Amino acid sequence: MSAPEAVLTARNVSIEYEVDPPVKAVRDVSLTLHRGEILGLAGESGCGKTTLAYGMNRLLKAPALMTAGEIVFHDRSGVDIDVVSLDGEGLRAFRWDKISMVFQGAMNSLNPVISVKAQIFDIFDTHRPGMSKRDKQARAEELLTLVGVDPSRLSSFPHELSGGMRQRMMIAMALALDPQVMIMDEPTTALDVVVQRGIIREIMRLRERLGFAVIFITHDLPMLIEISDRIAVMLQGQIVEQGTAEQIYRTPQHEYTKKLLSSFPSLTGERGDFVRTGATAGQQEVR
C-alpha cells in the first residue's frame, strides 16, 4: 500500500508576538496534511492553534511574526510552492485558490452591509476577473446548493440569516475556487448542538464529494475523534502528541491528551443520586 500523498507540510514553525516581553505562541511545530484527509488540531484556548493556522495561510498580522520554519504546499500539478516566500500577486493567487479558510465567528467574517451575492462575486472579481456575470451567478447558486442553502438567499444580508446559515455561507465562499485545502477555525462555535451536527455532516459530505483536505481546529477533542483521520494535540505552542483518531482515543500517550479526554462527561456508566442534606430547603449534594 502506497504512502498517503502530502498536500501541505509545515516544518519547525515558530511564531512570536513581538510585544514586551515577546510571546512565543508557536514553538517548533511540524505537521503534515495528506491529500483528502481531515486533520484535527485540538487544544485549549490560547495554546496557539489559530496562530499556527494563520501562519500556514500567510494571514499573520503585526505584532505576530513567523521567526523560523518552512511551509510547503504540494500542488496537485506536481509543483511544490514555498508559501513563506510568496508575496504580492503570488500570495494573492495562492490564497483562497489553493488554501481557503473558514474563520471563527461567521457574523464577524461576513460584511454586515453587503449582500451575500456581492461578497461571493467579490471572490470571483479578485481571482477570476475574466468570469462573466452569468457564470458568476451560476457558480454562486451552485455553491449555495452544495451547502444546503436555497439559492434565493443570495440576495440576503448576513443579519437576515440564522447562525447556521451564515456558517454555511462561509463554507460556500471558502469552496468558491475549488481549493485543495480548507482550514476551519472552530466552525461550530456559538451554534446550538443540532445546528453543529448539521454543519459537521455538511463538511463530511462535501469532503467526500470534492476531495479537499481539512485542518479542523477546535478544543472539542471528542468531536475530532469522531470526524478526523488524524489528530494533533497542541499545548503551550507545541504539538505534544499526534496519531490516528483511534490511537488518540484508545491509547493516548501524553498526560495532557488524557486530561482532555477525561474532561468530557461519559454517556454511559452509573448515574449519580441527588440527596437532600442540611436544614435549608433546596440544598442538595451529589453522591
CB-CB contact of 127 with 178 (8 Å):
no
What residues pair up with 13 in beta bridges, in sequence order?
A: 29
pLDDT at 23: 94
81 part of a folded domain: yes
Dihedrals phi, psi of 70, to nearest 5 degrees = -140, 150
Determine which helix (DSSP H) or strand (DSSP E) holds 239, and give its type and residue range. strand 238-244
pLDDT at 191: 74
Between the alpha carbon of residue 108 and those of residues 163, 167, 176, the distances in Å are 11, 11, 19
34 part of a folded domain: yes
pLDDT at 102: 92
The number of domains in the chain is 2
C-alpha cell at 68: 523560523
pLDDT at 285: 36
Here the CATH number for the domain that contains residue 191 is 3.40.50.300
282 part of a folded domain: yes
Dihedral, CA of residue 83, residue 87, residue 89 and residue 93, to nearest 10 = 20
Q: Find all residues with CB under 8 Å of 98, minimum gap 6, and list them.
A: 73, 75, 81, 179, 180, 181
pLDDT at 31: 95
Calpha distance 238→216 (Å, rounded): 17
Domain boundary among 160, 176, 192: 176
Q: Which of 78, 65, 56 is nearest to 181 (CA)?
A: 56
Query: In this structure, are 172 and 184 located in the same domain?
Result: no
Determine which helix (DSSP H) or strand (DSSP E) holds 233, and give its type and residue range. strand 230-235
Calpha distance 280→183 (Å, rounded): 53
Dihedral, CA of residue 188, residue 189, residue 192 and residue 197, to nearest 10 = 20
Query: In this structure, are 205 and 273 located in the same domain?
Result: yes
228 part of a folded domain: yes
> Helix, strand, coil: what percent of the chain each, to 5?
35, 25, 35
Query: In this structure, are 123 and 263 located in the same domain?
Result: no
pLDDT at 262: 85
Calpha distance 203→186 (Å, rounded): 13
> Cell 460556500 appears where?
172
Which structural domain, as residue segments, surrounds residue 125? 110-176
Centroid of chain to Cα 248: 19
Query: In this structure, are 160 and 279 located in the same domain?
Result: no
pLDDT at 153: 95
Query: In this structure, are 172 and 213 located in the same domain?
Result: no
103 part of a folded domain: no
Query: In this structure, are 117 and 31 located in the same domain?
Result: no
DSSP at 282: T
Tens-digit pLDDT profile for the chain (287 aa)? 567 899 999 999 999 999 999 999 999 999 999 999 999 999 998 999 999 999 999 999 999 999 999 999 999 999 999 999 999 889 988 999 999 999 887 667 889 899 999 999 999 999 999 999 999 999 999 999 999 999 999 999 999 998 889 989 999 999 999 999 999 998 877 677 888 888 888 899 999 999 999 999 998 888 899 999 999 999 999 999 999 999 999 999 999 999 988 876 665 666 555 444 444 433 333 33
Query: In this structure, are 58 and 199 located in the same domain?
Result: yes
Query: In this structure, are 131 and 255 located in the same domain?
Result: no
104 part of a folded domain: no
105 part of a folded domain: no
pLDDT at 266: 63
Domain boundary among 176, 204, 227: 176
Domain boundary among 176, 208, 232: 176
